[in-house]
Homo-oligomer: A and B are copies of this chain.
Amino acid sequence: MTTGVTAPRGFRAAGVEAGIKDTGLDLALLVADETCAAAGVFTTSRTSAPPVAVAREHLASGRARAVVVNSGCANAATGPAGRADAREMVDLTARAVGCPPGEVVVASTGVIGVRLPMDKVRSGIAAAARRLAPDQGSEAARAIMTTDTRPKEASVSFTVGGRPCTVGGMAKGAGMIAPNMATMLAFFTTDAALTPPLLHRALVAAVGESLNRITVDGDTSTNDCAVVLASGAAGAPAIEGEGRDYEAFGAALTTLARRLAEMLVRDGEGATRVAEVRVEGARTEDEADRIARVVAESPLVKTALYGGDPNWGRILAATGRAGVALDGDRVSIWIGDVWVAENGAAREYEEKDAAAALEEHPVRLRIRLGEGEAAGWMWTSDLSHRYVDINAHYRT
Residues of A within 8 A of B (CB): 44-48, 74, 76-79, 81-82, 111-115, 175-176, 178, 217-222, 297-300, 303-304, 306-307, 309, 311-314, 316-322, 324-329, 331, 341, 343-346, 383-385, 387-389, 391-396
Contacts and interface: CB of A to CB of B under 8 A. Distances in A.
Contacts of A324: 46
A78 B82 CA distance: 56
Given A304-B392, A304-B394, A309-B393, A317 B222 contact: yes
Nearest to A221: B317
Contacts of A313: 74, 76-77, 111-114, 222
Contact of A298 (B112, B219, B388): B219
Contact of A319 (B47, B346, B394): B47
9 contacts: A46-B319, A46-B324, A46-B325, A47-B316, A47-B321, A77-B312, A112-B316, A311-B394, A388-B388
A220 to B, nearest CB: 4
Contact of A299 (B311, B316, B385, B391): B391
Contacts of A76: 313, 316-317
Given A219-B314, A299-B387, 18 more contacts: A45-B321, A46-B320, A46-B322, A47-B331, A47-B344, A48-B328, A79-B329, A79-B343, A79-B345, A82-B345, A112-B311, A112-B317, A113-B312, A113-B346, A299-B383, A307-B392, A384-B388, A385-B389
Contacts of A314: 112, 219
Nearest to A110: B313
A181 to B, nearest CB: 10
Nearest to A313: B112
Number of copies: 2
A78 B346 CA distance: 7
Contacts of A388: 303, 306, 383-385, 387-388
A391 B305 CA distance: 10
The CB with the most chain B CB atoms within 10 A, among A76, A175, A313, A327, is that of A313
Contacts of A178: 321
A17 to B, nearest CB: 24
Contacts of A82: 345
B300 A176 contact: yes
A62 B79 CA distance: 56
A300 B114 contact: no
Contact of A316 (B77, B331, B344): B77
Contacts of A219: 298-300, 314, 317-318, 321
A203 to B, nearest CB: 21
Q: Which 3 A-B pairs have the closest CB atoms?
A: A112-B313, A47-B320, A307-B392
Nearest to A369: B46
- Among A113, A324, A396, residue most surrounded by chain B Cβ atoms (within 10 Å): A113
A15 B309 CA distance: 31
A277 B47 CA distance: 18
Given A78-B345, A313-B111, A320 B45 contact: yes
Contact of A218 (B48, B175, B299): B299
Pick from A297, A328, A391 the residue with the most CB of B within 10 Å.
Answer: A391
Nearest to A82: B345
Nearest to A310: B395
A63 to B, nearest CB: 28
A331 B306 CA distance: 37
Nearest to A355: B396
A394 to B, nearest CB: 7
A52 to B, nearest CB: 11
A289 B384 CA distance: 29
Given A313-B74, A345-B113, A300 B175 contact: yes
